[in-house]
Amino acid sequence: MTENLKHPLESISSSHSPHRPSKISKTTDDHSDDEQPESMSQRPGIQRYLLAIEYIGTRFSGSQQQSNFRTVVGVLEEAFHKFIGQPVSIFCSSRTDAGVHALSNVCHVDVERISKRKPGEVLEPHEPAVVKRAVNHFLQKNEGDVMVIDVRSVPANFHARYKAQERTYFYRLLSGAEPLSTFEKDRAWHVSEELNLRAMQEACKVLVGHHDFSSFRAAGCQVRLLVGVLKAVGTGDLKVPDVERILNAKTVTAASPMAPACGLYLGHVKYDLP
C-alpha cells in the first residue's frame, strides 16, 4: 500500500487526510501575535518566501545552524547563496534534533533579486516556482537528503515560527524478531520484542487531552519521551496505571528512556495562510 506523506503549503490549512499513518502524538503550539519579535523594516524589492521542505535527518546535526556542523538550515542557506549570489538567513517553524526527519518542515527566507549583469540594480522578485527549481538544483549536489517541496510568496511580516498554529509529528516503530530491512535503516526504531498494541492503545488514552506534560518535556524531546513510555507498556515493563503516575509526577526524571531520533518525523505544520 502506498501513502502520500507530503504536505505542500497548499494543503497545510486543510483538514487531516484519513490516509496518513496513525498518530502516536500530536503537538500543538499556539502563538499569539504579541509573542512575535518586532519586525525590521524591509527594503523595497525584498520578497519573503515560505518554503516547505522535506529531509532525511540521518546525516544532519539537527535543523538549526551550528558552526562546524552540517545542519538543514546550513545546507539550505548554502543553496540559496549559490542561487542568488548573496547570503541569506533562514528561519524554521520547528527545530528538529540530529537524526530526526521531516515530511514537511516550514521555513521563511527574505530574498532580494539583484541583477548579475548590472550589479546594484534590483529586479522584480523571482516567481516561487523558479525559487523551488533553482534551490533544489543546488541541494541535489549536496547529498540530496533535503528538498524544497513547495514555495509561496508571503507578506514581509509572515513568520514561519510565530504564525504556526499546529505541528504534527509521526513516530515509526517496527517490532519483531526479523532484522530491520536495509531500506528502513535509520528510518524507524526496531524493537525485537513483540509489542502489546492493545495495552499501548489504552496507555495512549491516558495522554489524550489537555495535560501538564512536564514529565515528558526535555530539550525538545517530548515526543520521543512519550514513545519511550508507550514502548515500555508494549513490552510489559510498565502498566497503564504507570503512565498516569508518570504524567502526574510532573518531573522528567519519572519518564522511561526516550525513543531514538531515527523514528521521529515532523509531519506537517499548519497555518492560516494569507
Q: In whole numbers, what is the pLDDT of the chain averaged over residues? A: 84
At 68, phi and psi to the nearest 5? 65, 15
Average pLDDT over residues 190-210: 94
Instruction: Transcribe 217-237 into DSSP letters.
Output: -STT-HHHHHHHHHHHHHHTS
Q: Distance between terminal CA atoms of the chain? A: 35
Say what the pLDDT of residue 44 is.
Answer: 61
Say what the pLDDT of residue 35 is.
Answer: 45
pLDDT band of 125, cuts 50, 70, 90: very high
Q: What would be the CATH architecture of the domain defined by 173-263?
A: 2-Layer Sandwich (3.30)
User: Residue 67 carries which DSSP code?
Assistant: T
Reported as a single tens digit per residue, the pLDDT across 136-179 is 999 999 889 999 999 999 999 999 999 999 999 999 999 998 98
Distance between CA atoms of 142 and 199, rounded to whole angstroms? 44
Active site residues: 97
What residues form the annotated binding site for substrate?
169
CATH of domain 44-164: 3.30.70.580
Nearest to 235, CA basis, from 192, 196, 188, 178: 196
Q: Distance between alpha carbon 193 and the CA centroid of its chain, in Å?
A: 29
* Of 18 and 176, more confident: 176
User: Residue 241 carries which DSSP code?
Assistant: H
What residue ranges of the chain are covered by domains with CATH 3.30.70.580?
44-164
Average pLDDT over residues 226-255: 92
* Of 43 and 108, more confident: 108
What residue ranges of the chain are covered by domains with CATH 3.30.70.660?
173-263
What residues form the annotated binding site?
169
